[in-house]
Chain A
Amino acid sequence: MESYAIETKNVTRSFAGSVVVQDLNLRVRRGSIYGFLGRNGAGKTTTIKMLAGLIWPDSGEIKVNGVAPSQFTVEDRWKIGYVSERQILNPFLRVSALIKFTAGFYPHWDFAACERILQRFKIDPSKRIKSLSQGTARQVAFLLALAQKPDVLILDEPAANLDVVARREFLDEVLDLLRQDGKTVLFSSHILSDVERVADEIGIIAQGRLKISESLDRLKETVRKVRFHAFEKGVNGFVIPDAFQFSKTRDEVLATLRVEDETSLRALASSHRCQYEIIPLNLEDIFVEIVREPKD
């Protein structure tokens, strides 16, 4: 079995001549919960749709569970759950009828999980989809994705339209799913506290390119905002090419960069006759620093 549940190689996709995803190399380890972050229009949904086999890449390769989405068979689909950003469910069906209809496609449908999630989210199965609130309809969509017992679960903005409690319950469900061996979850989100709570790996996409893809712990440990302050001559000529953000005034440089080990930072500071100060960053700060357009 391949070690990556999701793998893309140099995937590019354009719409009407504008490149939305460019040379995307994404790797999601089997058994991980991968938080896929990016601003609106960064290419998250396009990437997720390509993973789900709803659209095709212009170039590059995609493999989900070892199979290209364009080659998915019905058996491959058994193992891949998906909830879209704006999941549209048949509004005229009752929840119970929708569950029955969807269960017909899956030989290993988990009716016990259905029951458990219905109770957990307090969803009345006799109600029609159109009478449900947006948040509850979304919970039904989760239920349908979870009850098929997928190996890989792809969720596009899963917490959208959910209140705080429902969001927390959903995250608990995801964690429960992960506790079963070999499950992989990729989800996009704008709510960084959720990502921080659940994800163990993070990918950050900006302008269609993957800027970061690594474990959450490593990201939080190594991405730092550093203020360099010159002792005497100013900071002319001070450049850090790999910095995520870089700005300077006459005496001061402010940079967001990866600091693997503080020795290199010390060496950098002393070579420019500066002292430095590390400013702590939480995930939200890191995200903003990475995706923000650099200031002039």
Chain B
Amino acid sequence: MNAKTPFWPLLKSEMSYSMFGGKAQTCFMLLCAWFVAGAMPLVLLRFELQILFQSGILAIVIFMFVLWMTTFVSMALVPGCADLLPPGPDSGQVNHGLGGLGFIFTRAADRRIFFRARSAAVFLFALTPLFLNVAASPLAREVHTGALSDSRYSQAFPDMNHGIIPYGAIAYTGWLAWSATALFLFLQAYGALIANRVKPNNKWTGIFPAMPLIVLFVSFIAWNKIIARAHVSFGEDSFLFFAMHPGEMVIALMALAVVVQIWSERRFSKLEIL
């Protein structure tokens, strides 16, 4: 008999507000999500891509998003990090920490299914706003390219007329959702890689949440010092590339998701609960 672990009760349990340590923390998390959510910068910037790509606000949005996602993923998927939280009945440590996992790890539940439920819960909490924005983007105003109307834009958006991209918001919100999903997968893989090494009460434990930010910060500096001289705009180029090859990019992301998920589940199922 091949026993199956029921997925939905686990997902329901992981989706409950309690997994984030109470209503206040959950509301804060969701507020952060909406703040950095896809359409927001575009609304603030009056739907002009030039301002978005050249004002530097994109870097701020990326920083905030990475900070938020890293905290989110590390607390939920790296139990040693959850143990950084101060103990208490309302602390996320209770459910996410190693002690909390001890309960589910000693029940007749497949750890891989449990991890799937937990990562699905994190994904839904963190990225649902971005996908809602994609869904709502056909209703958004046209996007203006501003002074960016070069041949690459014409290639990516054949319907573009005098710098106005009809349904450009779809491409923009899709690109943000795609990038955020890729970031989520990267962080999940990174978390699965180091979860067994992140021990509670260890001076190095706090390094995990900080590391992607440090890498990002160093990358920005390197970008400005070296690559910017070559007049390459990573944000704009990746946006245009996504707009030109949306189908391929989505398929590649789905393939990546499958690989990362299987690999992460295997790693997580071997996690030690000290």
Contacts and interface: CB of A to CB of B under 8 A. Distances in A.
A111 interface: no
Contacts of B90: 91
A205 to B, nearest CB: 19
A84 B102 contact: yes
B110 interface: yes
Given A56-B272, A89-B103, A105-B5, A74 B110 contact: yes
Interface size class of chain B, counting residues whose CB lies under 8 Å from the partner chain? 20 to 34
A104 B102 contact: no
Interface in B1-47: 1, 3-6, 9, 13, 16-18
A105 B6 contact: yes
A92 B242 CA distance: 43
Most interface-central of A52, A73, A87, A88 (chain B CB within 10 A): A88
B95 interface: yes
Contacts of B107: 77, 102, 105
Interface string A66-99: 0000000111011010101011111111000000
Given A74-B3, A74-B5, A75-B1, A55 B273 contact: yes
B105 A54 contact: yes
B106 interface: yes
A58 to B, nearest CB: 12
Contacts of A54: 102, 105-106, 272-273
A49 B105 CA distance: 11
B103 A88 contact: yes
B86 to A, nearest CB: 15
B230 interface: no
B9 A86 contact: no
B108 A74 contact: yes
Please report whether the interface of chain A is mostly helix, strand, loop or mixed according to DSSP: loop
A52 B95 CA distance: 19
A53 B5 contact: no
A90 B1 contact: no
A74 B109 contact: yes
A121 interface: no
A75 B102 contact: no
A74, A101, A106 interface centre (most CB from chain B within 10 Å): A74
Contact of B108 (A56, A90, A101, A148): A148
Given A49-B273, A55-B274, A101 B106 contact: no
Contacts of B108: 74-75, 77-78, 105-106, 148
Contact of B94 (A49, A82, A84, A88): A88
Interface of A: 15, 49, 52-56, 73-75, 77-78, 80, 82, 84, 86-93, 101-102, 104-107, 130, 148
25 contacts: A15-B274, A49-B274, A52-B106, A54-B272, A54-B273, A55-B272, A55-B273, A73-B3, A74-B108, A74-B110, A77-B107, A77-B109, A78-B108, A80-B106, A84-B106, A88-B97, A90-B94, A90-B95, A90-B103, A91-B94, A92-B16, A102-B107, A105-B107, A107-B3, A148-B108
